[in-house]
Structure 1
Amino acid sequence: MRFKKELDFVHLSRFFYIFSIAITVAGLIFLATMGLNYSVDFKAGSNVDVALSKNITLEQLKPALKDLGISHEPDITLGENRVNIRYDEVLDSNQDEALKAAVTKLDDKASFEINTVDTEMAKELARNAIYSVLISCLGIIIYVSIRFEWRFALAAIVALVHDAFIVVAIFSIFRLEVDLTFIVAVLTIIGYSINDTIVIFDRIRENLRFGKQKTYEDLKVLVNKSVAQTLMRSLYTAFTVFIAAFFLLVMGGESIKMFSLAMVIGLLFGAYSSIFIASPLWLLLKKRQKQPVKSNPAKA
């Protein structure tokens, strides 16, 4: 399905560039001053997830946790028949038992899941998370460079980093918790982002084979035409995954809420980055060629 009247996506891209730059700058400021709100997965501490048979209030829970001999105040998150208690220090076995006893007095059918991460493990998890993102980006750069050309590769990686960083920036700005599922979401977003970008780039390359582009305006028309030809396919794909992620966010458990939220944010921004970031950037790089623009035959 295509629009009968093709839009000037290249012209519209300037507004999306301004929007993305504004969020990026805000994200950099928040990251530099406040950092990320790491969960217990990335810093030492204990995370207690309690399944309840009835709802309890903070007014009931806080006094019950005061007499445990723990110096730091816990971070408590209440949900429907569930409560999450996070300490920034590692609880020993006696403190674990005391906490269970305190909560059991409020709900004798409560069940507990306690996860503890020490300092070294937290550092290792953080390193592995960074390595996983960097390695995936490197692999994509190599693939796109071989499959297409360096301008396509550069434009694709800029769009990819844009999508991943926007999610990180929003989590930093709104102090949303970053856990291991967040890293999974970022890697998933990278995959979806590059998939949409490759589809558009493949159509651009195909149109280059059969066209005679001699000027920048010719290339601009070609990019707009290529985006229009693949637009509905990209929107359908993004919308389908967005619906699934949205319902996971609304109806899913507490343990996957950050994953679902990161996916929703990433899909929204990824939906326009391939169209309004990657493709116009390739056009800009192509414009800077010193030699006349020629059609590039596809590599076998």
Structure 2
Amino acid sequence: MTNPESMSGWTRLTTGTANVDIIGRRKTWYIGFGVLIAICLLSLVFRGFNLGIDFTGGSQIQMPATGANGAISTQQVDRVYESVIGSAPEVTQSVGSGDAASIVLQSEPLTSEQLVPLREALFTQLQPLGADGTPSAASISDSQVSGTWGGEVTTQALIALAVFIVLVTLFLAFYFERAMAAAALVALINDIVVTAGVYSIIGLEVTPATVIGLLTILGFSLYDTVVVFDKVRENSRGLLKLTRRTYAEAANLALNQTLMRSMNTSLIAILPVLGLLVIGVGLLGVGTLADLALVQLVGMISGVVSSLLLATPVLVDIKLRDKRVRDQAARVEARRARAAGRGGTDSGPDTGTDSDVDGGPATDTLAAVSSSAPAAPRPGARPTGKTGRRRG
């Protein structure tokens, strides 16, 4: 069997034999997550969200992206809007591709006295083509969007989020233990706050698709955490009766054993989302598909990082509040200190039990074996055991 110490770092990582001290550096991770959470919360409080028209309400104008003089750009539409209304629109974006390409303009609520001259100016200056390939004023449409629909979607999403958190917490508490449920909940809240904070800091528009996408990342956020916790449970089974390793070391071993799996799973999951984002932005224009893919991308990256660097370290700190776990860790340290004092080598986790700590049972067993050994035979004595003579 190949000695793990002789393997390269990449080989050890891919075979689950790496020795990255993730748990030992948990204070560093806490500081990093704390700073990130603080920045996100400050942005949410003082900057808020860039809510889309579905939440705030307003007017929407849509027209073909092809005119009599060629392609119509969003900058041209903005200039026409500013010349008529006197201010810039909230959002102007290109949607679709090819013959189906169109320009969508969203602004604050406009009155009919504003909409009529705006539509006339757009048609006069840009000459958008209708379905028959000739300039048509009917190709420009307008509609009023109410903010109540976005509010209803948000309300339903918050209810779904609360139900999800309650059910997941109960499942983890029964399937694993309460400490693991609490640690997973901390990581889940972190992912939600970070994803929302990124949208607030960058100023990305929040649409109903964003809210729906936020709900879809919750399951992925918990997936890696559950995988790691299952390995932690396996490594720590019967640990209180052993002095092989501490609970923190067992948890760190679980992280190293599942590290490559988490990275591979996350990469495979992120690649399709990147594909959706490229298609949504590059081919179809910034729309519902792009909004959904963007929030999933941010949430997935946050989820895999928190499952490795936050959930398990929090679990270790919760478990160390248990006196039995602290006492077991003290016994491990005592055994290693004695081994070092005797000049022995303690390369790490050992297979000894609690009886190894005191040294008494091991010494008594050796004495019993020595005393029960047969005495040397007297010179000339006849053997009393079986002989090697064969019967005829």
TM-score strictly above 0.5 = yes
- 2:301 is matched with which residue: 257, 268, 278? 268
- TM-score using structure 2 length: 0.66
Q: Does 1:236 align with 2:264?
A: yes
Name 2:45's counterpart in structure 1.
32
- Distance in 1, matches of 2:37 and 2:268, equals 27
CA contact (8 A) 2:65 2:73 kept: no
Alignment CA distance shift 1:292-1:277 (3 Å)? closer
Which residue number in structure 2 is paired with residue 75 of structure 1? Answer: 90
Q: Deviations over 1:3-29 (max 9, x none)?
A: 433211112333332222112111111
Q: 8 Å contact 2:150–2:208 — kept in the other structure? A: no
The letter of the residue matching 1:37 is N
- Map of 2:23 onto structure 1: 10
Contact 1:12–1:276 under 8 Å retained in 2: no
Q: What amino acid maps onto 2:179 in structure 1?
A: R
Show CA shifts across 1:156-215 (max 9, x none).
011011111101001111111111111122112111011111111111112222544668
The aligned counterpart of 2:34 is 21
- Structure 1 residues 183 and 228, CA, compared in 2 at 3 Å: closer, same or farther? same
Q: Is residue 89 of structure 2 the alignment partner of residue 61 of structure 1?
A: no
**Cα distance, 1:270–1:50 mapped onto 2, change above 3 Å:** farther
Structure 1 gaps of 5+ residues are 296-300
Establish whether residue 191 from structure 1 lines up as the match of residue 224 from structure 2. Answer: no
Distance 2:243 2:296 in 1: 39
Deviation (angstroms), 1:225: 1.1
In the alignment, the residues of structure 2 paired with residue 117 and residue 224 of structure 1 have an alpha-carbon distance, to the nearest angstrom, of: 53
How far apart are the structure 2 equivalents of 1:286 and 1:115?
Answer: 58
- In 2, distance between residues paired with 1:147 and 1:218? 23
1:168 to 173, 179, 196: 196
1:298 is matched with none
- Give the Cα separation in 2 of the matches to 1:128 and 1:279: 31
Partner of 1:42: 55
Distance between the aligned counterparts of 1:259 and 1:51, measured in 2? 24
Describe the shift of the 1:60–1:71 C-alpha distance in structure 2 as closer, same or farther (beyond 3 A).
closer
* Higher RCO (CA 8 Å, separation ≥ 6 residues): 1
Quote the offset at 1:50 in angstroms: 4.5
1:240-251 matches, cutoff 5 A? 240-251=268-279
Q: For 1:246-273, what per-residue CA distance to the aligned partner results, in whole angstroms no more than 9, with x for missing partners?
A: 1222232311222222222211121111
Q: Does 1:148 align with 2:169?
A: no
Give CA deviations for 1:17-55 in whole Å, capped at 9, x if unaligned. 222211211111111112111111222223445552353
2:109 is aligned with 1:89: yes
Aligned twin of 2:248: 220
Tell me if the contact between 2:213 and 2:292 (Cα under 8 Å) persists in the aligned partners: yes
Contact 1:52 1:109 in 2 (8 A): no
Deviations 1:58-104 (A, max 9, x none): 55323433576x68642233447543311222666x87676655545
Q: Does the 8 A contact of 1:76 with 1:86 survive in 2?
A: yes
Further displaced range: 126-135 or 228-237: 126-135
Higher Cα radius of gyration: 2
SS in 2 for 1:209: coil
Q: 1: distance between equivalents of 2:187 and 2:244?
A: 22
Using structure 1 for the length normalisation, give the TM-score: 0.84
Change (3 A) 1:115 1:9: farther
Range with bigger deviation, 178-187 or 48-57: 48-57
Q: Could you say which residue in structure 1 is the equivalent of 2:312?
A: 279
Q: How many residues align?
A: 293
- CA distance in structure 2 between the aligned counterparts of 1:185 and 1:122, rounded to whole angstroms: 14
Task: Find the aligned partners of 1:178 and 1:294 in 2 and give their Cα distance.
Answer: 50
Q: Percent identity?
A: 26
* Secondary structure in 1 matching 2:71: coil
Q: Distance in 2 between matches of 1:211 and 1:159?
A: 25
Cα 1:122–1:66 shift into 2, 3 Å: same
Task: Letter of the 2:154 partner, please give it.
Answer: A
For the aligned residue pairs, the C-alpha RMSD in angstroms reads: 3.1
Cα pair 1:189 1:263 within 8 Å, conserved: yes
Return closer, same or farther for 1:260/1:121 CA change in 2, 3 Å cut-off.
closer
